[in-house]
Amino acid sequence: MADLQDEPHSAGIGAEDLPAPAAPAAAVSTLDRAAALLAVHPVLDGCNTLVWTLRQNPYLDIETSDAGVDTDIPRLRAGGVGAQFWSLLVPEGGSCDDGATDQVVADTLEQIDVALALMRRHPDSLRLALGADDLADARNRGRIASFLGPVPGRALTDSLGALRAFHALGVRSLAPAGAAWAREGLTAFGHEVVREANRLAVLLDLAGCPAAVARRIAAASKAPVIVSGTGAAALNPHPDNVDDEVLAALREANGLAMVSFDTARTGDSLHAVADHLDHVRAVAGPECVGLGAAFGTDRAGRHPTGLTDPSGYPRLIAELLERGWTEPELALLTWANAQRVIRDTEFTARRSSPAGV
């Protein structure tokens, strides 16, 4: 039987009336695929220092992208950020670097106050999160779930009551680095802190801890631990990057290494950051890698080309797609791994607390 295109008048239709051949469907770009993935599996970012920046300049308006800081609500939304840990640490060179205990506590409380004020000022965009269930609630309401933490371990002042007080204020992460009880190992009080953090469902954030201390805390904790902002020391031996032994310990503890976007730690390009993510995935496993960009600064040049603010997340995901990361692996990276760590920490707290407490 002849093809109808050979006899255009056979059905009583003129050749000029035939529909034009359909154009081939345009290939979906990796950037389009990245944006679609982030719409379903947004970023749960482990580190943003905006609170400190706002403390120094309280008149910044983060409702627009002209605020003079790399983090604002439009760019968080453009980057597909669905949840954020707001760091309460004072950066290097801050006022509590003199080590005075009262100054550390005062700085920490002021950081908490600034963070809570940030959420009060932007109730249509940010929602305080106290646990894993708040992640879904914030998404359903069109808000960015906002976790408080970490606070510095030095702010505990050798008091578990201080940890409980920070928890009551909404803090959900603690950074032992620099505390006397976690300097060269774990002291007896340090073991008590780990147990109490587990009981309260406060994440232990090992960022900045010496490798031996990080491994000791990971082994002592019954809940998963995280490193909220790091790179792979095997690629760049920066003192704040974790080595392969720590990555292996995180894998053993079902923890999470959240890769930073910092030129000093992870290089000056998006491709360099992707190299660190590749290495962490290879050593710790796809279930133990996350994102902790450390945006929130008003200093230019701190972040690599292509990742200078949160709106760059789709470009990073597109790069990882081109490197062969599967969409399920990327869903783990952006959201599911961090969600699982938060939820597992809560399960540990329920198991360790007496009934009714």
261 close to 238: Cβ distance less than 8 angstroms: no
Task: Give the chain's mean pLDDT.
Answer: 90
pLDDT at 154 over 60: yes
Which residues on adjacent β-strands are paired with residue 259?
230, 291
* Tens digits of residue pLDDT in 247-291: 999 999 999 999 999 999 999 999 999 999 999 999 999 999 999
pLDDT classification of 206: cutoffs 50, 70, 90: very high
Rounded Cα–Cα distance for residues 187 and 65 (Å): 46
- Across the range 183-193, mean pLDDT stands at 95
The proportion of the chain whose per-residue pLDDT surpasses 70, expressed as a percent, equals 89
Q: Give me the mean pLDDT over the 162-188 stretch.
A: 96
pTM for the predicted model, two decimal places: 0.89
Residue scoring higher pLDDT (159 or 91):
159
Give, to the nearest 10 degrees, the angle between helix 270-284 and helix 313-322: 60
Residue in the block written with tokens 């760049």: 236
Amino acid at 70: D
pLDDT of residue 101: 79
Q: Which residues contact 286 (CB under 8 A, 6 or more apart)?
A: 329, 332, 333
As given in the structure block, the two tokens for residue 73 are 């609500």
Q: What is the mean pLDDT of residues 106-116?
A: 97
DSSP state of 241: S
Is the Cα torsion angle 295, 297, 301, 302 positive or negative in sign? Answer: negative
Express each pLDDT in 42-88 by its tens digit.
Answer: 999 999 999 999 999 988 999 988 768 999 999 999 999 999 999 99
150: cis peptide before it, omega within 30°? yes
